[in-house]
Structure 1
Amino acid sequence: MYVEIIAALHKIANGDFNVYLDFKLDQRNGFKELADHFNHMVRQLQQMEDMRQEFISNVSHEIQSPLTSIVGFTQALQHNYLSVEERNHYLSIIETESRRLSKLSDNLLKLTSLESDHQPFEKNQYRLDQQIRSIILSSEPNWSQKDLELEISLDKITVWADEDLMSQVWVNLIHNSIKFTPAKGKLKIQLNQMGDKAIVTISDTGIGISEKDQLHIFERFYKADQARERSKSGSGLGLSIVKKIMDMHNGHITVHSEVQVGTTFSVILPIA
């Protein structure tokens, strides 16, 4: 019995989670409960290890793609036969991919910080409608360039939340809606109070997200089909950050979308 336990612990210490203890109730009696808890712990450790491996794989993939582009176009710039237009085009691509790497790094740091005990989480009272209106105004160069029609309806609501973290939520959702809505499309942002909760809905007439992808849209790095199109210039981490911030506030976020019709994100935030 003790030999089996020690051998199993040695395997776990060496990173081998393919371990299972089987103490029969009629043979070992009280040790069955111990074995059940031990096996549950091993399964949890294996799941964490699988998640870690998947995370590393996804990060490596996201980094490799822009690096390949940067290296390829840098090599192309070394040729003397290129025209000025071609050189400027290649330099533009290198700049875009460099910014993409920088954004990926920034989002990884944000997500890591949010999931650690080191992220400052300071709630204070502030006007949610003023915060959202300020972000809409700061985004004017983006929506005015596409000549989007905006419909804004914000009730005066004071909330108790981390203002800086919630700002990241609205920036991400509003910028995404602008980015994936074609020119002369429509963006609708509403803020209402329902009991002790603030309800924010952000709707667009953009490319939409398939029903299958809506089930995974808040997962790290998830990009497929229409979700991939919505995230083609991003890292697939923005909505994961939004979801984590909402969880920290005991809030809730949902998505409803139809392909080529539009997308609506609904955020429910406790006021107090």
Structure 2
Amino acid sequence: MENKNHESAYINKLEEKVVNLSLQLKSKTNELNYTNESHRKSIGKLIHNLKNPIGVIFSFSEILLEDIDNYSSEKIEKYLEIIKNSANFSIETLNSVAKYIQHQAPDFKYTFKSLNYNQLVLTIIDEFNAELSKKNIKIEKNIPETPIILNLDAKEISLGLRNIIHNAIRYSTNNSTLKITLKESKSTVETTIIDEGIGILKQDLQAIFKEFFVVNTYSEDKQKCIGLGLPIAKKIIKDHNGDIFVTSTFNKGTSFKVILPKK
């Protein structure tokens, strides 16, 4: 009788293990299917976004090659500038898609280290001095002098914040103000980025974090938008156990709030 009880308990344990392994396999299969479907959609949207600029490059290259002797140097320069801009957009799109897919991978690894978050944010802001100056945008920084030490992946969180700030500048009008504030609480640090740009309609607010979604195809400076900066930023912030919120008033400006945990 005792042997039978042991045998029955052993079989029950095996059955539990089989069930657990089956559930784990199903979870991994679903994860893999989601990743494959996400990649398939990204590739499809990538092809769609590259058709036009590559078509422009081909068309203007063909025009120049067929009749270059009859064009003035000014016209050749104009056509080459169009080719260059289309090529730059294509390269930016490829790089953004590669970065987006990289962050969607289940095995993507972060390197977390303790760092001075205040200094990190100040360094990122300094990178945009030329863009701010070009549009005569005034920057208002409200960043505490006392260091806020957070455990972050410096490279990745910098990319996320850089995407948000770049987006704010891109859609800001000339001679406006950009405000960046750090606020520390007991358990979190809030980074708020407020612009005085074109704003976002209420019905578009939740969609701005979807890949390839753009509120305006072109920014204020006529640069074409890809629509991957904010999705990448949100993924990085979420992977840091943080959160991101957005509020906006159309034609008045937008506010992004990034909340990161202190532990």
| Same fold flag (TM > 0.5) | yes
CA distance in structure 1 between the aligned counterparts of 2:246 and 2:197, rounded to whole angstroms: 14
Letter in 1 for 2:217: R
Q: Which residue of 1 aligns with 2:115?
A: 126
CA distance in structure 2 between the aligned counterparts of 1:57 and 1:47, rounded to whole angstroms: 15
Matched, 1:72 2:72: no
CA distance in structure 1 between the aligned counterparts of 2:41 and 2:196, rounded to whole angstroms: 33
> Pairwise CA RMSD of aligned residues?
2.5
Q: Which residue of 2 aligns with 1:269?
A: 260
1:60-79: CA deviations, max 9, x gaps?
10111210111122122232
Instruction: Identify if the C-alpha distance between structure 1 residues 124 and 89 changes in structure 2 by more than 3 Å, giving closer, same or farther.
Output: same
Normalised by the size of structure 1, how large is the TM-score?
0.77
CA distance in structure 1 between the aligned counterparts of 2:33 and 2:250, rounded to whole angstroms: 37
Fraction of identical pairs, as percent: 28
Q: Which residue of 2 aligns with 1:144?
A: 133
Residue 186 (structure 1) shift: 0.9
1:119-173: CA deviations, max 9, x gaps?
3311111111101111111211110121111111012321111111011012111
Matched, 1:218 2:205: no
Q: 1:255 aligns with which of 214, 234, 246?
A: 246
Q: Which residue of 2 aligns with 1:34?
A: none
Normalised by the size of structure 2, how large is the TM-score?
0.80
Deviates more, 1:201-210 or 1:45-54: 45-54
Aligned residues of 1:213 and 1:227 also touching (Cα < 8 A):
no
Deviates more, 1:73-82 or 1:48-57: 48-57
Aligned residues of 1:198 and 1:270 also touching (Cα < 8 A):
yes
Letter in 1 for 2:165: I
Q: Which residue of 1 aligns with 2:191?
A: 200
Q: Which residue of 1 aligns with 2:233?
A: 242
CA distance in structure 1 between the aligned counterparts of 2:33 and 2:116, rounded to whole angstroms: 44
Letter in 2 for 1:260: N
Q: 1:111 aligns with which of 87, 93, 100?
A: 100
Q: How many residues align?
A: 232
Instruction: Identify if the C-alpha distance between structure 1 residues 217 and 77 changes in structure 2 by more than 3 Å, giving closer, same or farther.
Output: same
- Stretches of structure 1 that go unaligned for 5 or more consecutive residues are 1-36
Aligned residues of 1:131 and 1:167 also touching (Cα < 8 A):
yes
Q: Which residue of 1 aligns with 2:43?
A: 56
Letter in 2 for 1:170: L
Aligned residues of 2:218 and 2:225 also touching (Cα < 8 A):
no
Letter in 2 for 1:237: L
- Stretches of structure 2 that go unaligned for 5 or more consecutive residues are 1-22
1:229-251: CA deviations, max 9, x gaps?
45962321111111110111111
Aligned residues of 1:205 and 1:261 also touching (Cα < 8 A):
yes
Instruction: Identify if the C-alpha distance between structure 1 residues 44 and 249 changes in structure 2 by more than 3 Å, giving closer, same or farther.
Output: closer
Residue 196 (structure 1) shift: 0.9
1:190-237: CA deviations, max 9, x gaps?
0111221110011111111221211110111112xx343459623211
Letter in 1 for 2:205: Q
Q: Which residue of 2 aligns with 1:85?
A: 74
Match of 2:70, SS state, is coil
Letter in 2 for 1:197: T
Deviates more, 1:113-122 or 1:188-197: 113-122
Match of 1:114, SS state, is helix
Instruction: Identify if the C-alpha distance between structure 1 residues 51 and 163 changes in structure 2 by more than 3 Å, giving closer, same or farther.
Output: closer
Instruction: Identify if the C-alpha distance between structure 1 residues 131 and 92 changes in structure 2 by more than 3 Å, giving closer, same or farther.
Output: same
